[in-house]
Amino acid sequence: MKRFVQVTFFADSLNIGYHQKIHEADEVESIKAVAEKIHAEHFAEQFYPAAIINLQVLDLINVVSKTSFFKLEFSGAESVIPLEKVIEIFEQLFHNFAATNVFTEYANQGRVYYLEFIPLAFDTTGSKLLIDLKEAIRQQNHLVKQTALAFYFEKELTRYIYEINQLAEQHFDDLTEDLSPFLRGEKKHLEIDKESESELFEKVALENYHLKLEIATLRDTIIAYHATDAQEDKTNDFTKLATIDYQMILRAALLLKPAWQYYLKLSRELSIDVSADGLKELLSHSVARDKLKHGSEKIEIDLLQTEVEWIDARTKLLKRVNRQIVAVKILTSDLERLKQIGVYAMKIQNENKKLKTMLEVL
């Protein structure tokens, strides 16, 4: 059997600066997408804390010092397959690997790809994201050893190459026959009855409407997020913020739900009832603690948590230095809202300190 492709695995970074880069993924978005898939596969029963994980991704991407590689050596022109298919097979095989860059070089009438990736895994609780090759391999398939990764990748690539070559030979005559009327300049007519014609028209019209709507939405989004500095200064819609400052503000906002849950726990231990409007009352200090009734403000807390998640999803990362993200662009209204939610969390934490002191005295 002819060996169409040879795959080699490199656990540590390679010196490939002199090769041509032919594919560059958004590393942050790639890691986010893989992290969500891993969590859904291994911790399906748990809620996926997108904003918390996104915060961890920012921390990880700024400290990652090395990546791993697959080297793919295609032996001839007939064996080289589209890069998109290479990445697709890679993603199907390795659920815990986030593809980042692909480099290439030509050799002996064939081609060489260097596929760079970042190995990811969650800890046993499903709440902390790690960049860890051994743990990533164990989590996606504990029966597969590191030394076998290249073998499985090469096997799937070879299978695809054989299927394509065999399919091409098998259907060449049929394909030529199907194309012959067009090659001779003949026309084929599609007969559609009146009812089918009407249904087809309605379907096309509906698809066209949705397509126009999507294009308009996409256009508005692109204009908003890629506005020039002059436009931003004029409209004052966006604020550019150092990443470290954004992370601090986001962390403060994300403390709201845990702080409230801890408040409810301390209240139960002190036999203090919390009314349905407990959160509002706590933040406004308008009602004495001993007059509160039993209940919790879970729905409002969850809505605020969801709001934080959506704000983080809308925030755009920019100004990269190597892998480090040094700034973000956030809607000014979103930034103010995050700060306000952070203030809520701080007030609840201050109240928690008082309750904890009361508990210690008892």
* pLDDT per position as a tens digit, 322-341: 566 778 888 888 899 899 89
Nearest-angstrom CA–CA distance, 362 and 357:
9
Nearest to 271 by CA among 294, 296, 287, 288: 294
Q: Classify residue 181: in a domain, yes or no.
A: no
Do 276 and 131 lie in one domain? The reply is no
- Which residues, 6+ apart, have CB-to-CB distance to 304 below 8 Å? 256, 257, 341, 344
Asked whether the predicted pLDDT for residue 231 surpasses 50, the reply is no
Q: Classify residue 276: in a domain, yes or no.
A: yes
Do 102 and 146 lie in one domain? The reply is yes
Q: Classify residue 217: in a domain, yes or no.
A: yes
Residue, of 222 and 316, whose pLDDT is higher:
316
Please report the pLDDT score of residue 70 as a whole number.
Answer: 95
User: pTM value?
Assistant: 0.62
Do 251 and 307 lie in one domain? The reply is yes
Please report the pLDDT score of residue 291 as a whole number.
Answer: 39
The Cα diameter of the chain in Å comes to: 96
Strands 110-122 and 97-107: antiparallel
Do 40 and 121 lie in one domain? The reply is yes
86 — pLDDT class (breaks 50, 70, 90): very high
Q: Classify residue 348: in a domain, yes or no.
A: yes
Secondary structure percentages of the chain, helix, strand, coil, to 5 = 60, 20, 25
Average the pLDDT over 143-155 and give the result.
87
Please report the pLDDT score of residue 163 as a whole number.
Answer: 82
Do 20 and 145 lie in one domain? The reply is yes
Q: Classify residue 320: in a domain, yes or no.
A: yes
Do 27 and 156 lie in one domain? The reply is yes
Q: What's the mean per-residue pLDDT of the chain? A: 76
Do 150 and 11 lie in one domain? The reply is yes
What's the token pair of residue 81?
């397959």
153 — pLDDT class (breaks 50, 70, 90): very high
Q: Classify residue 231: in a domain, yes or no.
A: no
* Number of domains the chain is built from: 3
Domain of residue 202 covers: 188-226
Residue, of 202 and 276, whose pLDDT is higher:
276
Residue, of 351 and 223, whose pLDDT is higher:
351
Nearest-angstrom CA–CA distance, 362 and 358:
7
Do 17 and 81 lie in one domain? The reply is yes
Buried b (16+ CB within 10 A) or exposed e, 146-174: eeebbeebbeebbebbeeeeeeeeeeeee
Do 15 and 101 lie in one domain? The reply is yes
320 — pLDDT class (breaks 50, 70, 90): low
What's the token pair of residue 257?
């739900």
Do 151 and 18 lie in one domain? The reply is yes
- 315: helix, coil or strand? coil
Residue, of 350 and 205, whose pLDDT is higher:
350
Do 59 and 136 lie in one domain? The reply is yes
Q: Classify residue 203: in a domain, yes or no.
A: yes
Nearest-angstrom CA–CA distance, 203 and 225:
33
Do 271 and 125 lie in one domain? The reply is no
Q: Classify residue 232: in a domain, yes or no.
A: no
